[in-house]
């Protein structure tokens, strides 16, 4: 899988590695592990992200410092690697200008429809996570180079991108990767998982309580909706980021095939659609000028919350009747 990319990367002296905006466990884990791999093999590396790292993932930056990119400093790099995203705009304003430098760009990712700006890349949509791909890079090169830090970093990405090994993206290879990481990293899963999942502020749980109270079922109890309003954010002193992971709750109700989470933003409503059946939420979101994957998609709605819920359900209903 990496037979072309490995020699390419190792031919450079100094490489900048970017992870995508609003960073998650998979992009940070793969970025940190890749930087450590480059350093182990004599390539100087720097990690860049436009945004702040969430509190629960901050410990990863102890393994590798992550800086906000400054365009004028990027000239000194020989090449750049982009992880867990396949279009430069996913990596922020600085990354979007990077082609001006004329340096080779590489990419390791698992999302569909990659951009054509990359000299060499590994793009596998059937991989559970970018961290599973970076694990394969280590495995194909020299598996003994996996140490505690890189193992923990990659484990974070595999766990978070698979909903703790629950999604259908989990293959035997994913489990083998995770098992090998535990072995070479010499740690137990709870060490990592507690840091990632058991560090929620109380206010976030209060907001979740308000959100859970709004859950309603539609279409023969098969579609669930849940929402958060600006008033709820105010009442709990929370903000948009605090709703991360909420969408899993309505989806966990018995018999529910798909769900939509509505979040009131400044002047519009953000929709997150999830499916755990043959309902294609990408198609559904496209009707609302959004999109994504079959099982996870997003869109925006202009209008009041009650109208949004009613409209979105009726758009979905038309789609199923057509099917």
Q: How far apart are CA 126 and CA 175, in angstroms?
A: 14
Q: How far apart are CA 34 and CA 30, in angstroms?
A: 6
Compute the least distance from the CB of residue 28 to Mn ion, in Å.
10
Residues 110-139 that bind Mn ion (CB under 5 A): 129-130
Give the residue with the Cβ less far from Mn ion, 103 or 124: 124
The distance from CA 143 to its chain's CA centroid, rounded to whole angstroms, is: 25
Give the residue with the Cβ less far from Mn ion, 161 or 264: 161
Q: How far apart are CA 211 and CA 201, in angstroms?
A: 16
Compute the least distance from the CB of residue 13 to Mn ion, in Å.
28
Q: What's 85's DSSP letter?
A: -
> How many chain residues are in contact with Mn ion, going by CB under 5 A?
5
The 10 Å CB-count burial string (b at 16+, else e) for 177-197 is: bbebbbebbeeeeeebeebbe
Maximum separation of any 2 CA atoms in the chain, in Å: 60
- Shortest CA distance to 153 belongs to which of 69, 59, 55, 86? 59
Which residue is closest to Mn ion by CB? 26
Give the residue with the Cβ less far from Mn ion, 130 or 174: 130
Give the residue with the Cβ less far from Mn ion, 49 or 129: 129
Q: Judged by CB under 5 A, does residue 84 bind Mn ion?
A: yes
Residues 271-290 that bind Mn ion (CB under 5 A): none
Compute the least distance from the CB of residue 23 to Mn ion, in Å.
11
Residues 15-34 that bind Mn ion (CB under 5 A): 26
Q: Judged by CB under 5 A, does residue 109 bind Mn ion?
A: no
Give the residue with the Cβ less far from Mn ion, 19 or 225: 19
Do 301 and 287 meet the contact criterion of CB atoms below 8 Å apart?
no
Q: Binding Mn ion by CB under 5 A: which of 120, 132, 161, 280?
A: 161
Compute the least distance from the CB of residue 194 to Mn ion, in Å.
21
Compute the least distance from the CB of residue 110 to Mn ion, in Å.
6
Q: What's 53's DSSP letter?
A: P
For residue 197, give every residue at least 6 positions away whose Cβ sits within 8 Å of its Cβ, in sequence order, or none: 56
- Shortest CA distance to 138 belongs to which of 36, 61, 20? 36
Compute the least distance from the CB of residue 174 to Mn ion, in Å.
12
Catalog residues that contact Mn ion under the rule CB under 5 A: 26, 84, 129-130, 161
């Amino acid at each position: 899988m990496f037979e072309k990319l490995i020699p390419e990367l190792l031919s450079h002296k100094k490489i900048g590695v970017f992870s995508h905006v609003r960073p998650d466990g998979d992009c940070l884990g793969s970025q940190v592990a890749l930087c450590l791999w480059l350093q182990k093999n004599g390539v100087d590396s720097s990690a860049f992200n436009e945004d702040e790292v969430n509190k629960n993932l901050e410990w990863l930056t102890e393994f590798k410092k992550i800086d906000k990119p400054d365009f004028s400093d990027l000239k000194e790099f020989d090449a750049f690697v982009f992880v867990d995203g396949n279009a430069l705009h996913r990596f922020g304003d600085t990354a979007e200008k990077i082609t001006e430098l004329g340096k080779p760009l590489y990419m390791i990712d698992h999302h569909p429809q990659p951009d054509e700006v990359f000299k060499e890349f590994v793009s596998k949509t059937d991989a559970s996570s970018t961290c599973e791909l970076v694990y394969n890079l280590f495995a194909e090169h020299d598996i003994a180079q996996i140490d505690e830090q890189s193992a923990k970093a990659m484990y974070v990405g595999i766990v978070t991108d698979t909903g703790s090994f629950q999604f259908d993206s989990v293959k035997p290879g994913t489990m083998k990767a995770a098992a090998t990481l535990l072995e070479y990293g010499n740690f137990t899963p709870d060490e990592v998982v507690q840091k990632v999942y058991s560090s929620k502020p109380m206010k976030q749980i209060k907001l979740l309580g308000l959100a859970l109270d709004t859950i309603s079922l539609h279409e023969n109890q098969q579609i669930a909706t849940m929402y958060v309003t600006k008033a709820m954010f105010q009442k709990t002193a929370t903000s948009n980021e605090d709703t991360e992971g909420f969408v899993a709750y309505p989806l966990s109700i018995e018999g529910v095939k798909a769900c939509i989470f509505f979040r009131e933003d400044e002047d519009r409503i953000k929709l997150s659609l999830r499916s755990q059946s043959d309902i294609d939420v990408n198609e559904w979101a496209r009707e609302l000028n959004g999109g994504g994957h079959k099982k996870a998609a997003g869109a925006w709605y202009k209008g009041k919350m009650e109208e949004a819920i009613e409209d979105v359900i009726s758009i979905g209903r038309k789609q199923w009747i057509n099917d």
